[in-house]
Amino acid sequence: MTTTIPQNADTTRRELPGYIDEVVEGLSGEAKTLPCKLFYDERGSGLFDQICELDEYYVTRTENALMDQYAGEMAEAIGPECLLIEYGAGSSTKIRSLLDNLKDPAAFVPIDISGEHLVRAADELKVSYPTVEINPVVADFTAAFDVPAPLIKPARNVVYFPGSTIGNFAPKDASRLLKGMAQRVGPGGGLLIGVDLDKDPNVLRAAYNDREGVTAAFNLNLLVRLNREAGADFNLSCFTHRAAYNPEASRIEMRLYSDRPQTARVAGRRFDFEMGESILTEYSHKYTVESFGKIAGEAGFKTRQVWTDADDLFSVQYLELN
């Protein structure tokens, strides 16, 4: 079901049925968690845009360089008259390289959970690309959603999933998402996806613990949002952001640590925290080209082309459904 984001983010108590059960379940476990999709309210989306500009955060600038250099090859692989569906579109900045190179796209459908952010970005794209049909959809792409039928019948459907967002999913959940994408594009359809590559742990730790504290503010904004929307009473000064690399799982684990014994209430439920206890807020799995090809293969996709930078920090991969 498509989740509609109200225009006024400060009056979103109507959103409670959409995520509160996940929040309560996550905080009730022996190891507390919060769903990372809650990062992206209006403020969270803006903070993430700031993260993408940080010196330590290599992901965005490396991917942007790949898009600038190879967008023509990517567009050629995708082919003409495609229906391009972007999962987690955000500010829709990376799509411009593709739209500049695609031949006669049938339509572009950006999908994002942050409604105000999405609509603003889509309006800007409509000005820049007046001949392209642009149909934004406010939705949680991990759930069911409808894609508007374009006026021009597409030659094929292609999902575009930039950034390193696939890494936010545990392998079984990533496999489930990829299978959903396969159903979305259908036989002969494609997937153009950003995949962060495994690398020096020091580079990874710096990227998620920036000196300016923007990632910390982004992480803590989860609690800000729950205080505003879910009647929670988290004391923000009593939680600290830290991200660590787990070599066994090849992933960054981002957490909020309780600085003291404390209690917080969410939607009328009480949750106790010991000193040093953490809330896991995000995974960011890192892959090799081979390990990602294996998980994508389980969903029916076959890797056709891979573009990487000289230091093998990041990859953009094009896959087709067998």
- Are 128 and 168 contained in the same domain? yes
pLDDT digits (tens, 9 = 90+) for 73-100: 999 999 999 999 999 987 778 899 999 9
Domain annotation covers residue 8: no
- Are 233 and 179 contained in the same domain? no
- Are 103 and 217 contained in the same domain? no
Domain annotation covers residue 7: no
- Are 134 and 264 contained in the same domain? no
Q: Which helix (H) or strand (E) is 290 found in, with range?
A: helix 289-297
- Are 92 and 144 contained in the same domain? yes
Q: Which residues pair with 273 in a beta bridge?
A: 262
pLDDT digits (tens, 9 = 90+) for 29-58: 999 999 998 998 889 989 998 999 999 999
Q: Say yes or no to pLDDT of 2 above 80.
A: no
| Number of domains comprising the chain | 2
pTM of the model: 0.86
What are the DSSP calls for 34-80, one per residue?
--GGGG-SHHHHHHHHHHTTSSS-HHHHHHHHHHHHHHHHHHHHH-S
Q: Say yes or no to pLDDT of 9 above 70.
A: no
- Are 293 and 277 contained in the same domain? no
Domain annotation covers residue 63: yes
Alpha helices, DSSP H, located in 82-200? 95-99, 115-128, 171-185
Domain annotation covers residue 292: yes
The confidence score (pLDDT) of residue 114 equals 81
- Are 30 and 155 contained in the same domain? no
Mean pLDDT of the chain: 92
Burial (CB count <10 Å: 0-12, 13-18, 19+), residue 171: middle
The confidence score (pLDDT) of residue 16 equals 52
- Are 78 and 227 contained in the same domain? no
Least confident of 11-25, 36-50, 189-203: 11-25
pLDDT tier at 135, thresholds 50, 70, 90: very high
- Are 129 and 172 contained in the same domain? yes
Range of 105's domain? 58-199+287-321
- Are 180 and 306 contained in the same domain? yes
pLDDT tier at 7, thresholds 50, 70, 90: very low
Domain annotation covers residue 250: yes
Domain annotation covers residue 1: no
- Are 124 and 195 contained in the same domain? yes
Write phi, then psi, for 201 (nearest 5 degrees): -55, -30
Domain annotation covers residue 50: no
Strands 251-258 and 262-266: unpaired
Least confident of 37-46, 54-63, 238-247: 37-46
Domain annotation covers residue 314: yes
Alpha helices, DSSP H, located in 165-213? 171-185, 201-208
Q: In CATH, what number is assigned to the domain containing residue 74?
A: 3.40.50.150
- Are 174 and 254 contained in the same domain? no
Burial (CB count <10 Å: 0-12, 13-18, 19+), residue 292: buried
For the four alpha carbons of 46, 52, 56 and 57, in that order, the dihedral sign comes to positive
The beta strands (E) that lie in the chain are given as 32-33, 82-87, 107-112, 137-138, 156-161, 190-196, 239-246, 251-258, 262-266, 269-273, 278-285, 301-308, 314-321
Q: Say yes or no to pLDDT of 13 above 80.
A: no
